[in-house]
A and B are shown apart, each in its own frame.
Chain A
Amino acid sequence: MKKTAGVTGLFHDPDQVLKAAAEIRRAGYRKFDFHTPYPLHGLDDAMGVKRTVLPWISLGAGIVGAAVATHLQWWTGAVDYPLVIGGKPLFAFEPSIPIIFELTVLFCAIATVVGMFALNGLPRWFSKWQDDPHFVRSMDDAFVVTVDADDAQYDAGKTRTLLESLGAEQVREVEYEDQ
């Protein structure tokens, strides 16, 4: 069954993209996005993208990593099998620092990467916009605006007119195959 994904259009000028993003937002749209070949500075603010929670995930994972490393070294060395090696204490903080540091970084890095993709809903090998013949240019040389049909403000005619008035080229309504 075919369903409407929404309206797409192409931009070529980064300045125009920023202006368009602010205008679309001002018109009350919330479910819209720009697909760009590289991150455009200032577009987040123009679109009103909320700051991501990702840094908190990274911080939390880093703390967990440090705690795991500390506990691992203390429990294995001083509790589970206390074995005197070279007359050194069973657990001391100083020689534990390297591994605490490494596991902090490791946990933090894994959480950052996994968290980033998870928050983005990736991997997802299907996009509602993939049947738009111009959509592929978003990873090449054009900035593709997409306004979602689910948006409360969405109206095929009005949305198209808005995008065209903002300077978008090749504005069209896109359908996708619903499963």
Chain B
Amino acid sequence: MKNVTDRHRQDSWDVEGGGSLAVSPDEIREPLFEGTPGLRDVTETVSGVVEGKPTKLWYATITLTSGLAAWGILTILYTVVTGIGVWGNNQPIGWAWDITNFVFWIGIGHAGTLISAILFLFRQKWRTAINRAAEAMTIFAVICALIFPIIHTGRPWVAVYWLLPLPNQMEMWVNFRSPLLWDVFAVSTYFTVSAMFWYVGLVPDMATLRNRAKNVFVKRIWTFVSLGWTGANRHWHRYEKAYLILAGISTPLVLSVHTIVSFDFAVSVIPGWHTTIFPPYFVAGAIFSGFGMVLTLMILARKLLNLEQFITRKHIENMNKVLMATGLMVGYAYGMEFFIAWYSGNPYERFVFINRAFGPYSWAYWTMVTCNVFIPQLFWFKNIRRNLIITWVISIFVNIGMWFERFVIIATSLHRDFLPSSWGYFIPTWVDVSIFAGTVGLFLTLFLLFAKYIPVLAISEVKGILPGSQPSHTHH
């Protein structure tokens, strides 16, 4: 008889050779855990983070990030009260940092659902160690993203019927023929579905915390939010089905969101934007940037929250492989855009791309190419894929590179339009910089709150893939 709750007996399985110990493909592969954690270990490790007192480092960091977020909110208020003339946007660059930041954040929000939905459908078990945090990042990133188009409307308080089909005094409806409106539906659907997906995953873990809570007040909170989950198998049955359906519909959803974001550009007739390669190019870029941000934060969280046992170098290596694959796709798209500009024979198209690489914004273009294409090539080497410090540094470059990608697409395509007399050059104002820095602060603040107060690992999912946790006769 084996007993998953008992570490010593678990270790002795190797000697006894029970049914589950026949060599399975999982065991030939590198294990997903360091050591042989039991069910109790998972509960203790993850709940320990939530139940313990925050460290001084946590307080210091969150003070800094929430200060930044507060400054961002103040500058947003200043923008709303004064008007968006306080930004650097002006003819011919009507979209600048606001839309750059919007696309940047939405892109980062793509890793979470990719990990939780697509990797789930492909039965990639390593996802369980990172899916909770990645989904949280998705939600926070989409919140940051949504700020920008809303304040770009100039009058957010009436934007509700500019953006949504609500009856209003004009008896007018939103323009369903515009990609900008498709974007409203895509991003709000994405936010709602990601948030529900995340919450559904959290319910069993919050029930675990409820059962452990000592403080009456804390216990009440966990009781309320865990909705009375008891782990009944008849409930798990529907739960697993719901999870599968959500994963199934989120997979096309995550691909659709950045496709539709790319339509904002591709459906217009601006050279540099009017490109059929945009949808797959944007989706690959989104996953690339999302994994970059997941790596940046998870390498730190893994260390600071003592999760090394569950987030191993194998996880980091797997993420680096995804990063390199999507990075190569993005690099291919950069090259193909130039080829098509030449092959099309369209002088305006050619001008935009030559101008992009060698014009006034060439510094931004080559920053982008260096960060997104050249530097990730280091991941061809296995020791680098498994080296945490180098990976972390490269992930920072990816974050920077992907911000520049959106800036390059937007600014270089707009700044020299068809009429040379109206050519311009975008320079951000202090308000532009402050609002972007504010959303970075907001994102990090929300992530820090999450990492401290919400289980960072999907407890029930990790338990389900522990060695010996499933009945031996079923193959999964």
A interface, CB within 8 angstroms of B? 12-18, 33-44, 47, 49, 52, 54-55, 58, 62, 72-73, 76-77, 80-81, 83, 85-86, 88, 95-96, 98-99, 101-103, 105-106, 108-110, 112-113, 115-117, 119-120, 122-127, 129, 135-142, 144, 146
Contact = CB atoms under 8 A, between A and B. Distances in A.
Interface class of chain A by DSSP: helix
Given A85-B175, A106-B193, A18 B471 contact: yes
Nearest to B242: A116
A42 B232 contact: no
B70 to A, nearest CB: 33
A38 B4 contact: no
B228 A127 contact: yes
B12 interface: no
Given A123-B227, A123-B228, A34 B233 contact: yes
A86 B473 CA distance: 64
13 contacts: A13-B4, A14-B468, A18-B471, A35-B230, A40-B471, A41-B474, A49-B233, A58-B249, A85-B177, A110-B192, A138-B230, A139-B230, A141-B39
A102 B211 contact: no
Given A12-B4, A13-B3, A102-B189, A38 B43 contact: no
A141 B241 contact: no
Q: Which of B19, B172, B176, B182 has the largest count of A CB atoms less than 10 A from its CB?
A: B176
A99 B238 contact: no
Nearest to B462: A38
B163 to A, nearest CB: 13
B200 interface: yes
Interface string B168-187: 00011111111101100110
Interface stretch (B51-59, B99-107, B252-260, B376-384): B252-260
B4 A81 contact: no
Most buried by B among A41, A80, A139, A146: A139
Contacts of A58: 245, 249
Given A33-B233, A98-B256, A113 B200 contact: yes
Given A106-B189, A141-B38, A141-B40, A37 B238 contact: no
Nearest to B171: A81
B230 A106 contact: no
A33 B4 CA distance: 20
B246 to A, nearest CB: 6
A81 B256 contact: no
A16 B1 contact: yes
Given A81-B171, A95-B176, A39 B208 contact: no
A48 to B, nearest CB: 11
B175 A122 contact: no
B358 interface: no
Contact of B471 (A41, A98, A108, A142): A41
A120 B242 CA distance: 11
Counting chain A CB atoms within 10 Å of each CB, the highest count among B3, B229, B238 belongs to B238
- Which 7 pairs between the two chains have the least Cβ-Cβ distance? A116-B242, A123-B227, A76-B173, A38-B464, A136-B211, A141-B39, A98-B182
Contacts of B178: 85
B189 A105 contact: yes
A67 B270 CA distance: 34
Given A37-B39, A77-B176, A101-B252, 5 more contacts: A15-B471, A37-B231, A76-B176, A105-B249, A142-B5
Nearest to B458: A38
Nearest to A116: B242
Given A54-B242, A141-B40, A13 B232 contact: no
Contact of A139 (B1, B211, B461): B211
A22 to B, nearest CB: 11
A112 to B, nearest CB: 5
B196 A110 contact: yes
B463 A116 contact: no
B223 interface: yes
A39 B233 contact: yes
B235 interface: yes
A122 B237 contact: no
Contacts of A55: 241, 245
Contact of B224 (A37, A42, A125): A125
Contact of B235 (A16, A122, A129): A122
B429 interface: no
